[in-house]
């Protein structure tokens, strides 16, 4: 029985969850579209966050780096 590797996996998953929550918390739910100036809403596609314009369907993908 490998308890050590299971606890390492649990720790990794907890750290990954915290990191994803920090990224989501730092993003706005809605922004202005650079193309048509309508509202862009924050969307999720499995493990990718992006904004999508309600009017012109322009997608803007978020960066995983927080070194802005």
| Full-model pTM | 0.54
pLDDT band at 67 (very low <50, low <70, confident <90, very high): low
Q: Which residue has the higher pLDDT, 27 or 6?
A: 6
Instruction: Look at residue 15 and tell me whether its pLDDT is greater than 70.
Output: yes
CA distances 62 to 13, 17, 18, 40, 66, Å, are: 21, 17, 17, 13, 10
């Amino acid at each position: 029985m490998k308890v050590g590797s299971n606890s390492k996996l649990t720790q990794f998953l907890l750290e990954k969850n915290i990191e994803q929550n920090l990224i989501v918390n730092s993003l706005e739910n809605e922004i202005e579209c650079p193309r048509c100036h309508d509202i862009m809403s924050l969307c999720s596609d499995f493990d990718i966050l992006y904004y999508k314009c309600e009017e012109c369907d322009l997608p803007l993908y978020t960066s995983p780096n927080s070194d802005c």
